[in-house]
Amino acid sequence: MSNSQNRKSAAVPQSRVSRLARMGSLAGRIAGNVVLEGGRHLVQGKKPVISDLLLTPKNLHQVADKLSTMRGAAMKMGQLLSMDSGSLLPDELSSILERLRSDAVTMPMSQLVMVLERHWGQDWNERFSRFSFEPLAAASIGQVHEATCTQGRHLAIKVQYPGVRQSIDSDIDNVYSLLRMTGLIPKTLDLQPILDEARQQLKQEADYLAEGAHLDAYRQHVQSFKRNADLVIPRFHADLSTTEILTMDYVAGDSLDALRSKSAEKRTDIMSLIFSLFFAELFDFKCVQTDPNLANYLYQADQHKLVLLDFGAVRVFNPDFVQKYQNAMCAAVKQDRQALDTALHNLGFFQNGMKVANREVVLDIFMMAAEPLRYNGDYDFGQSDLAKRIQARGLSVSGDPDAWHTPPPDVLFLHRKMAGLYLMAARLNASVNVHALFANYLNNQQE
SS3 159: strand
Report how far apart, in Å, the C-alpha atoms of 118 and of each of 53, 111, 123, 125, 429 are: 45, 11, 11, 13, 45
Residue type, 199: R
How many residues would you count in the chain? 447
Kindly report the backbone phi and psi dihedral angles of residue 232, in degrees, each rounded to the nearest multiple of 5, phi listed first.
-125, 125
| H or E element in which residue 138 lies | strand 137-138
State the Cα angle at 335 between 331 and 338, rounded to 5°: 65
Is residue 423 packed enough to be buried (19+ CB in 10 Å), middle (13-18) or exposed (0-12)?
middle
d(CA 173, CA 180): 11
Catalytic residue among 207, 291, 341, 410: 291
Those residues whose C-beta lies under 8 Å from the C-beta of residue 233, and which sit 6 or more positions away, are 215, 218, 219, 222, 307, 308
Count CB atoms within 10 A of the CB of residue 213. Answer: 15
Is residue 204 packed enough to be buried (19+ CB in 10 Å), middle (13-18) or exposed (0-12)?
middle
Per DSSP, the residues of 232-278 read E-PPB-GGG-BTTEEEEE----EEGGGGGGS-HHHHHHHHHHHHHHH
Catalytic, 364? Answer: no
Task: Name the residues annotated as catalytic.
Answer: 291
